[in-house]
Structure 1
Amino acid sequence: MSILSLAIRVESQTCDKMNQYDPCSQNYACACFHRLDGPNATICIDEFSISCSELIPCESSANRCYEAEHICVRHPRCNQLPVCYPVPIFNQQLCPSIPTTTATIPSHYSSSLTTSNSKFIRPNSGTGAYYYEAIHVTIETSGTYTFVSSSGYDIYGCLYNTPFSASSPSLNLITYNDDSGGENEFQLTADLKFFQPVILVVTTYQASRTGAFAVTAYGPNTVTFTKNAVKSLTTMITTTKTIASTAIASSGTYQLLSVLSNKALDVYGNDTQDGANVQIFSNNGGKSQR
């Protein structure tokens, strides 16, 4: 019986990382079923090919089937009772897998870390100061994206939701990586949503290291990289009536921070250059955008 079960697993369509009764095949009659008589796994079954009256209940104490070529599953149309399903219904010919697309469209970015870059204490470092560059990444199609570096030295990558704060490197951190790209190159993979604002921070494994680098993003569509994504523009407010005025002279993403609790900081006038994205924060956690 164990040899037969092994052959069944090889020939059947599994549905790993799917929920019970999720669609799992080009055949819409097929769905995912949790096996109750063996390993913690799901398997794709044509649930309408046989009626409940034809199915034999599983042995109650161990949820096992003693009939040859049967596997114990819980069936949604049979009052959720464990029933013995015949093995031929598991065949991939009845439940062919859903075709998957593996399109990986590349997007490229290159720059350099120099002594003119700012420093921060990167994630998983504890001490030391590391030059970094923050890059805004615009996502135009939801999906899984992979960012791979090319530098020739030990480079380090971090991916953040906005806002990114160099003084709080763990805040909004999605993932970080050092060497998964091989040869001391980072490789970051994340599921990103349509127009989800994310920041790619390129830094180094060794403190105070500089050098040229390139990053290639692979995903279902191209992404747009914008250098120097977040610029510090902190406005100090000394009274409730006096607000310092600062003109925004270049495009990019700016963060304006109010240092008074429960005080909203606003932006008026037309002194922002086209393309500037102003994010306004107060220290009570509020956020707006202009």
Structure 2
Amino acid sequence: MTKISVIIPTWNREETLGKAIKSALNQTFPPFEVIVCGVDGSPDQKVVNSINDSRVRWIEGGCDGLASIPRNRGIKASRGDWLAFLDSDDEWLPDKLEKQLKFVNKTGCSAACSDAIRSIPSQGYKGTILNGNVFEDLISFPLLTKDNYIVCSSVLIKKDIIEKCGGFPEDRSLKVGEDYALWLRASTFTNFAFIKEPLLVYKDEPETSIRAFTPPIWELRRNVFKSFIVWANNKEHSINDKEYIGLAKKLLFQARVRKIVYNIVRNIKMMFEK
């Protein structure tokens, strides 16, 4: 029997956490467990304690400013053979897990993801996150190198794939982009079966979103591809296909060139502004 462990990292999300948990519990294909990974001192435990369901567990610990740490804590504590990630301010549609399981069975993939309804609390619904930019049914490594087309809260993936990848990288240079780095690693083991219809509501508040702290795109890509190359060359996590490493090295070089161009343009602007 398929057992899905839902992992929800949270910090000071009392207003939205309850809805996120209930959206997981009320799935047409019920999850085996919902693991809420809080940070030391977070008041969110009160929300978990108020939910009368034995499937919900609260696990507390530090995070050192990295979202990957509580997620990895949940992965290690999970008892399911599949993992599904859900941010504490997002909500799944009721048949999210059921549709994804049917699609992975159809495609033979060990991972699935989907589009998401974009919701800005102060403005309402604003279309979808990917906005029809992904046309393929399968998201592969080469496609992922172009951009991160995977919404974290949409992912359903076999636990053994995540374990082969070493979990979310706990790298300070990937404070933003740790999920992108993991999807690249995972895509060397399996394609992501992509469902074009939105299966969740993604809360996107520009002022509080982590994307407000996102570095320039060249810096993000440099950090992500550098992390991938280090991981891929590690004997413990080595991969056989040299094409993955070769492509990552090429893209890392391009990112470094963009950094040089960026700095040159910035310095020229500063000279004229004086």
Q: State the TM-score bracket (shorter-chain normalisation).
A: under 0.3
Higher helix share: 2
- The structure with the larger Rg is 1
Q: TM-score, normalised by structure 2?
A: 0.24
